[in-house]
Amino acid sequence: MQTILENQRRFFRSGATRPLPFRRDALLRLQAALRKNENRLAAALHADLGKSPAESYMCEIGLCLSSVREALSHLRRWASPKRVSVPLAQFPATASVVPEPYGVALIISPWNYPVLLSMDPLISALAAGNCCVLRFSRNAPHTAKALGDLLSAIFPPEYVTVVGGGTEAASELLSLPFDTIFFTGSPSVGKRVMQAAAANLVPVTLELGGKSPCIVDSTANIPLAARRIAFGKTLNAGQTCVAPDYLLIHRSVKEQFVDEYAAAVRTMLGEHPVDNPDYPHIVNERHFHRLQGLLQGARIRMGGGMKAEALRIEPTLLDELDPTTAPCMQEEIFGPILPIVPFDSLDEVERFVQARPKPLACYVFTSDRHSERRLLNSISSGGACVNDTIMHLAVPNLPFGGVGQSGMGAYHGVTGFNAFSHAKGVLRRFTFPDLPFRYAPITGWKERVLRFFLR
């Protein structure tokens, strides 16, 4: 791995990755490869997670193609120096901010969206002019193999390469002095990544998770809210970092919501979702059994059925639980289980969410603009949606990232380009005239001029 890093650093220092035509060519090759390998990637995602071809395209491959198109359309503007104003005391001079690639980037991706969450940051890194080392999750082996073959066919290893290995290899990888690290995964592993990066003063972008609240007040369109929340919770069987994790709902509309949610699930997945071949499965037995344990301490209002041999769990609503002791409220669920916590006032909602770590997403369903503004202003989260779930990820001009325990830094669109770039400030001074008031001795009229400019 040390050799891989040295080879990539040597290639980067040659200056080959900096010209815009080189970056554009790399993005075009990646775009063509994603299109050419769409069927193989969809088959790999089905083998690893049970995703249907339609879901694989909508939530992974298609979004990657959208990101490539965005980068190709705006690359020249993103990479151009940005002029900034210069104070009169610096006359005559010009100043600009120059985006500069970091060098060699390490990208560590998770298993739940193995195409999107590896290729999307790779697109940003290549657009910014970096070399890249990628490490895929071993929990999605078919997709890792397909992506590894795809990348090795279009890029030389000194530019883009994939590394494997177990826990020891991962520790060795993190100990190396990369120029930047981009990690997507759990907060617990994110802490270890940041600790390892600190030893070499490597900047990190951490895309983590958390318990994202979904708030439904009494003015919300309940059938629409139920349908859109069910969409967000059943996508990838709930194995989504921004999936609604628990439902805070006004007591007056709770029963109507339960009925509408059940109807929405039936419409999307049929009477028996565990038998639907297009319904994704839980990634492995360990996570399947973990989710089983989260059903304790609550009343199952809907769903709860399981098919162990297929690793499938029905979309499930839990009610009448104690938020302080119920297992489903103590950790990120990462599955198709949605606990219900009723409320009577927005004061309760604010206290409840603010008492917990800042989430990656917050979803607000309301028809009251005052309530909308109040909740968005009082609840800190990585991102937010009003009257929808998940869909803010599909807006390339919105930064995507966490805050506090849910992560640091962001990407997507120009924000992703900036995440893999150093903003270098450059001042260009003219040689004439050379104003004398800054040179010692600074007394008399020189001091008066200096104080005037710096007042």
Q: Is 70 a catalytic residue?
A: no
The whole-angstrom separation of Cα 179 and Cα 433 is: 40
Instruction: Say if residues 233 and 303 touch (Cβ distance below 8 Å).
Output: no
Which residue is listed with tokens 């992560």? 407
Catalytic residue among 241, 328, 362, 385: 241
Catalytic residue among 207, 260, 314, 372: 207
Count CB atoms within 10 A of the CB of residue 324.
7
- Per residue, the 3-state secondary structure of 40-87, as one string, reads HHHHHHHHHHCCCHHHHHHHHHHHHHHHHHHHHHHHHHHHCCEEECCC
Instruction: Say if residues 211 and 200 touch (Cβ distance below 8 Å).
Output: no
What residues does 428 pair with on adjacent strands? 94
Closest to 379 in 3D by CA, of 348, 353, 406: 353
The whole-angstrom separation of Cα 56 and Cα 436 is: 66
Instruction: Say if residues 109 and 134 touch (Cβ distance below 8 Å).
Output: yes
The whole-angstrom separation of Cα 183 and Cα 207 is: 6
The whole-angstrom separation of Cα 132 and Cα 129 is: 10
- Spell out the long-range contacts of 261-266 with Cβ–Cβ below 8 A and sequence spacing 24 or more: 261/226, 261/229, 261/230, 261/302, 261/317, 261/338, 262/302, 262/317, 263/226, 264/223, 264/226, 264/227, 264/230, 264/231, 265/230, 265/234, 265/302, 265/303, 265/315
What residues does 100 pair with on adjacent strands? 422
Closest to 358 in 3D by CA, of 273, 245, 437: 245
Q: Is 309 a catalytic residue?
A: no
Amino acid 424 reads K
Active site residues: 207, 241
